[in-house]
């Protein structure tokens, strides 16, 4: 009887391990092993994909083992320890049996909880993959043996949950939301499973699909264009100054973009005696709306085999320019080459303050500074937000206070805010403006 009780504790442990291993094991890892020919991995993957019947089977096994343990284990242990009280005490048989029963109950409960529940649960959580492969064959046999009972349990549970408008989760319901995936990436990075580069790249993937062309483009005033009436010498001088490979070609002004020019086509004309008609060298250029998602735009650029697109505003004018490099930088960060003299958009100076470009996106600053701007949908950049809060032409020295930070304009160009100094302030200093407070 005692050996049978030990066997029931082991059986309970088996079903507990089965339950937690199937819940915890990574489906992608099982798929990888199954693709390599592992039969057990294939069976475990099938169980994970139909997890509720297998969980019901595990619960049935746990219940049967627990009931059997209570029925057999307690009397077996009580019978084992009763003679000790008879030899050591002068208690009556009834009293001795009662005390032995209480001690047996405590011992069997201890064994059941520690050896039958806690230990196998912890092992299954820590070694989910190995345990899942170990238990799957006997669990599958048990599931098939008691299939009618398991099916009945599931149907009863479905009916009860139906009265509460709750459905049993299916495979899609077991998937992770975007926020859950963010937390998984963060936890994996903290535990060392992902390095900083991998963690940052995966984190940027979640924001990439939400970015639109307006947030990523080079604004209209920063676009370097060629014009149809430019001479060959003027074109070469502009190329020497800026070092880009491709330039939009405009007719009259930036609102009339008629194509793009590749410098290879320009350089091939070197030494030609004929006057340059730059319009003859133009290639087609994509024109896309401001609100187009950059993931969609990237696919469109790949299909059309082009690296540049003009971003049009709602009135059909030119709002900005976007390149394949601009899109990729949203995933991997700024890309610089030996000819790129553009400084970083966020720089920390010796005083511990930040000097940032007015073009930095509010969403990026929210993560960087751990701040909530509560921005308007029409404002994407810190420069745009400061301009909106000031409500007038910005000047160097103007500032706005948001949270614990002061955002002070350090460089302007007309109506554009080029550089902003950011530093922490104490509560008594809170305010905004240069003369007029702003929010």
**Tokens matching residue 255:** 């609102």
**Tokens matching residue 218:** 């080079």
220 and 191, same structural domain?
no
Among candidate residues 69, 201, 249, 46, the one with its CA nearest the CA of residue 133: 46
Strands (E), 279-432: 286-289, 308-312, 318-323, 346-348, 354-357, 399-402, 405-413, 416-424
Domain boundary among 275, 300, 332: 332
204 and 131, same structural domain?
no
Q: Which contacts (CB < 8 Å, 24+ apart) does range 360-366 have?
A: 361/215, 363/207
Q: Is the pLDDT of residue 27 over 60?
A: yes
The strand pairing partners of 259, in sequence order, are 249
Q: Examine residue 437 and state whether it is found in any structural domain, yes or no.
A: no
pLDDT of residue 257: 93
282 and 164, same structural domain?
no
Say how far apart CA 248 and CA 260 lie, in whole Å.
4
* Three-state DSSP state, 260: strand
CATH number at residue 323: 3.10.580.10
385 and 308, same structural domain?
no
324 and 301, same structural domain?
yes
CATH number at residue 375: 3.30.465.10
**Tokens matching residue 24:** 């915890």
Q: Which of 235-239, 413-417, 419-423 has the lowest mean pLDDT?
A: 413-417
74 and 133, same structural domain?
yes
Q: Cβ-count burial of 65 within 10 angstroms (0-12 exposed, 13-18 middle, 19+ buried)?
A: buried
pLDDT of residue 2: 64
Report the residue count for the chain. 439
Q: Examine residue 434 and state whether it is found in any structural domain, yes or no.
A: no
Question: Percent of the chain scored above 70 by pLDDT?
Answer: 83
Say how far apart CA 322 and CA 248 lie, in whole Å.
11
Q: Examine residue 58 and state whether it is found in any structural domain, yes or no.
A: yes
Contact 314, 378 (CB under 8 A): no
The more confident residue out of 168 and 362 is: 362
Q: Domain count of the chain?
A: 4
Q: Examine residue 340 and state whether it is found in any structural domain, yes or no.
A: no
Among candidate residues 362, 320, 331, the one with its CA nearest the CA of residue 345: 362
Q: Examine residue 341 and state whether it is found in any structural domain, yes or no.
A: no
Say how far apart CA 400 and CA 422 lie, in whole Å.
10
262 and 195, same structural domain?
no
Q: Which of 163-172, 288-297, 399-408 has the lowest mean pLDDT?
A: 163-172
276 and 139, same structural domain?
no
* Three-state DSSP state, 405: strand
Q: Is the pLDDT of residue 154 over 70?
A: yes
pLDDT of residue 250: 94
Contact 146, 41 (CB under 8 A): no
382 and 356, same structural domain?
yes
Residue 166 lies in domain: 2-171
Q: Which of 82-86, 289-293, 345-349, 435-439 has the lowest mean pLDDT?
A: 435-439
The more confident residue out of 270 and 408 is: 408
Q: Examine residue 337 and state whether it is found in any structural domain, yes or no.
A: no
Interior CA angle at 309 toward 306 and 311, to 5°? Answer: 165
223 and 280, same structural domain?
yes
Q: Is the pLDDT of residue 170 over 70?
A: no
Mean pLDDT (the chain, rounded): 81
Q: Is the pLDDT of residue 135 over 60?
A: yes
State the pTM of this model.
Answer: 0.53
Contact 110, 9 (CB under 8 A): no
Q: Examine residue 31 and state whether it is found in any structural domain, yes or no.
A: yes
How far is CA 409 from each of CA 327, 369, 395, 400, rounded to the nearest angstrom? 28, 17, 7, 9
299 and 226, same structural domain?
yes
195 and 106, same structural domain?
no
């Amino acid at each position: 009887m005692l050996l049978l009780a030990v066997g029931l504790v082991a059986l309970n442990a088996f079903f507990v391990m089965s339950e937690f291993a199937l819940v915890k094991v990574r489906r992608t890892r099982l798929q990888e092993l199954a693709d390599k020919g592992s039969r057990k991995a294939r069976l475990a993957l099938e169980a994970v994909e139909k997890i509720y019947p297998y969980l019901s089977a595990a619960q049935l096994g746990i219940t049967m083992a627990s009931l059997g343990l209570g029925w057999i284990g307690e009397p077996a242990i009580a019978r084992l320890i009763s003679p000790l009280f008879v030899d050591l005490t002068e208690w009556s048989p009834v009293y001795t049996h009662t005390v032995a029963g209480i001690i047996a109950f405590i011992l069997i409960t201890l064994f059941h909880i520690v050896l039958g529940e806690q230990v196998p649960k912890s092992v299954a959580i820590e070694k989910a993959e190995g345990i899942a492969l170990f238990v799957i064959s006997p669990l599958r046999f048990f599931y098939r043996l008691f299939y009618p009972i398991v099916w009945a349990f599931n149907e009863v549970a479905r009916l009860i949950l139906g009265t509460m408008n709750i459905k049993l989760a299916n495979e899609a319901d077991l998937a992770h939301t975007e926020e859950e995936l963010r937390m998984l990436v963060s936890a994996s990075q903290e535990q060392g499973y992902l390095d900083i580069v991998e963690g940052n790249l995966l984190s940027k993937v979640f924001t990439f699909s939400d970015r639109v062309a307006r947030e990523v483009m080079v604004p209209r005033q920063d676009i370097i264009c060629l014009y149809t009436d430019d001479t060959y010498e003027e074109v070469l001088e502009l190329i020497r100054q800026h070092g880009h490979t491709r330039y939009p070609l405009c007719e009259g002004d930036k609102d009339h973009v008629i194509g793009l020019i590749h410098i290879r086509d320009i350089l091939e004309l070197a030494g030609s005696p004929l006057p340059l008609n730059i319009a003859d060298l133009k290639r087609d250029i994509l024109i896309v709306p401001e609100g187009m998602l950059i993931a969609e735009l990237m696919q469109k650029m790949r299909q059309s085999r082009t690296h540049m697109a003009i971003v049009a505003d709602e009135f059909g004018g030119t709002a900005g320019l976007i390149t394949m490099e601009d899109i990729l930088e949203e995933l991997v960060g700024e890309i610089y080459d030996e000819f790129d003299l553009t400084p970083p958009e966020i720089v920390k100076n010796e005083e511990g303050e930040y000097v940032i470009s007015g073009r930095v996106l509010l969403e990026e600053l929210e993560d960087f500074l751990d701040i909530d701007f509560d921005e308007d949908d029409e404002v994407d950049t810190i420069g745009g937000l400061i301009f909106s809060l000031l409500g007038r032409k910005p000047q160097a020295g103007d500032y706005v206070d948001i949270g614990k930070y002061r955002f002070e304009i350090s460089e302007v160009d007309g109506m554009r805010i080029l550089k902003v100094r950011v530093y922490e302030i104490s509560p008594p200093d809170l305010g905004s403006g240069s003369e007029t407070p702003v929010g």
